[in-house]
Structure 1
Amino acid sequence: MKKNILIFLLLSLSAFQMASARSFGQVRNLINADNKPYHFGFILGFNSMDFNVSHNGIVDKDGNRWYADQTDLAVGFTVGIIGDLRLAESFNLRFTPALMFGDRTLKFVDQNGFNELSVPVKSTIINFPLTVKARGQRRGNWRPYLLAGGSATLDLGKQKENVIMLKMMDYGIEFGFGIDCYLPYFKLAPEFKMYLGLSDVLERNRPEILDIDDLKYTNALSKLTSRLFILSFNFE
């Protein structure tokens, strides 16, 4: 799956470089687009959700220590809206809430490698990023930019029957880059960004678990934080 994601990113980048090369030096489209005090748009894209796992080495009642890792990166879907406020010639403030569908799988293995359990964790995340967009110099019909800011997330995909459950709220930082491509009637911007969660999203209060032995998987983790990789296409 990681190989497929890399191939997709390389193909997307190659296609955009070809389009940019053709537009360089030509008559510029949407000459006054960047002078608008504010504008709106929408987002379509893909995401890949990841965990950063920390262990505490606690021994269960059978004398085993459990360790977890995410087995692979799966591709999910992203859709959102764009609100953009012009601050200066090269800086914009952006609010880009998005709905993201994805899943992750945690694989637990004991210290001897004899016992293992794969736990699927599905997520439906509403992301609320507030970022500053720093734009470079426009060249023909394209213009590169960088993004940085903070974000809060709301996970609606709680699975109470699962041995691992995530908290609903999280917060973190976002950063990334992209290129505005000025077409005759709108801007299209391929964009890649990363979200790094700062809080522990592992839900430890699990009164609904009837088999106490299932708590050993939660107890084996000292901290679980989220990472999101987002490839989007912005229409503005």
Structure 2
Amino acid sequence: MQKKFFISVCLMFISWNVLSQRERVENLPSFDKRRIHYGFYLGLNTNGFKVAYKPSAFNNPQIEVTSEVGFNVGLIADLKLHNNINLRFEPGLISNTKVLRFTHITTPGQDTREVGNTYLHLPFIFKFSTNRLNNVRPYVLGGASFDYNFSSNERNQNDNFGGQFRQTASNLMYEVGIGIDLYLPYFKFSPSIRGIFAITNEVKYDERSPSQWTDPIDFMGTRGIFLHLSFE
């Protein structure tokens, strides 16, 4: 699913690029002279978990993750550092739902957990752009973020023994991406695709041990792909 998502977005970028090269009128000619500007973004995401395992009392542990397409929305504050370098703060919300299937658990009803996540996403991102060509300006970006998971259930006293999969509320992540600025008559539209990856372990271990759900997990962290549509 993630491969199809990635290919579709790449084709969209190529189509926009071809159409923009035909443009002869330079839109928003003084836009990039601003020291600071603002905007907002909308987007879709498909998220999963990267899981690493450690020795435990359970043989061949395996967690399969399936996810639904979620959404992301937020604001943009952009500071120009150089003609080709900008520092951006993009606070927003990320929401998605995942289903975890523990293949090493054979008891019906105990082998799956639904995990709904809503993150407050607070990233600082460096944006490296090429020189503008007509109304097109490609770029790459990278940065780090603090993410607070409102639906982590970290403080919930019920753990997996009570049917509740828990995660840590506060996490660190990094993201990288590519995109293209398209200068339209009244605003700048910037589609991009981004990958987001957790740095910290997001699993909240069960209180009792042995736990067939969390004992085998050494690391569990978010990883996903975003389709990011900025309006500035």
- In structure 1, the partner of 2:176 is 175
- Report the AA paired with residue 227 of structure 2: L
CA distance in 2, matches of 1:147, 1:128: 15
Q: Write the mapping of 1:105-144 to structure 2, written as runs, cut at 5 A.
A: 105-110=99-104, 117-144=111-138
Indicate whether 1:222 and 2:218 are aligned: yes
- In structure 2, the partner of 1:54 is 52
CA distance in 2, matches of 1:216, 1:157: 22
CA distance in 2, matches of 1:151, 1:213: 33
Deviates more, 1:39-48 or 1:160-169: 160-169
- Report the AA paired with residue 172 of structure 1: M
Shift of 1:216: 1.7
- Report the AA paired with residue 122 of structure 1: G
Write out per-residue CA displacement over residues 204-226 of structure 1, whole angstroms, 9 at most, x where no aligned residue: 1x45xxxx589320112111111
CA 1:148–1:92 in 2, change beyond 3 Å: closer, same or farther?
A: same
SS at match of 1:138: coil
TM-score normalized with structure 1 length: 0.85
Q: Write the mapping of 1:16-27 to structure 2, written as runs, cut at 5 A.
A: 16-23=16-23, 26-27=24-25
Indicate whether 1:90 and 2:84 are aligned: yes
CA 1:149–1:10 in 2, change beyond 3 Å: closer, same or farther?
A: closer
Q: Residues 163 and 215 of structure 1 are in contact (CA less than 8 Å); yes or no, is this contact kept in structure 2? A: no
Percent of pairs identical after alignment?
Answer: 29
CA 1:3–1:174 in 2, change beyond 3 Å: closer, same or farther?
A: closer
Shift of 1:17: 3.2
CA distance in 2, matches of 1:4, 1:131: 26
Write out per-residue CA displacement over residues 171-228 of structure 1, whole angstroms, 9 at most, x where no aligned residue: 0221111100000110000011111111111011x45xxxx58932011211111113
- Which of 27, 30, 34 aligns to 1:29? It is 27
CA 1:7–1:195 in 2, change beyond 3 Å: closer, same or farther?
A: closer
- Give unpaired runs (5+ residues) of structure 2: none
- In structure 1, the partner of 2:62 is 67
Shift of 1:10: 4.9
- Report the AA paired with residue 226 of structure 1: T
- In structure 2, the partner of 1:9 is 9
Indicate whether 1:154 and 2:152 are aligned: no
CA distance in 1, matches of 2:40, 2:21: 25
- In structure 2, the partner of 1:41 is 39
Question: How many residues align structurally?
Answer: 223
- Report the AA paired with residue 12 of structure 1: M
Q: Residues 189 and 233 of structure 1 are in contact (CA less than 8 Å); yes or no, is this contact kept in structure 2? A: yes
CA 1:139–1:178 in 2, change beyond 3 Å: closer, same or farther?
A: same
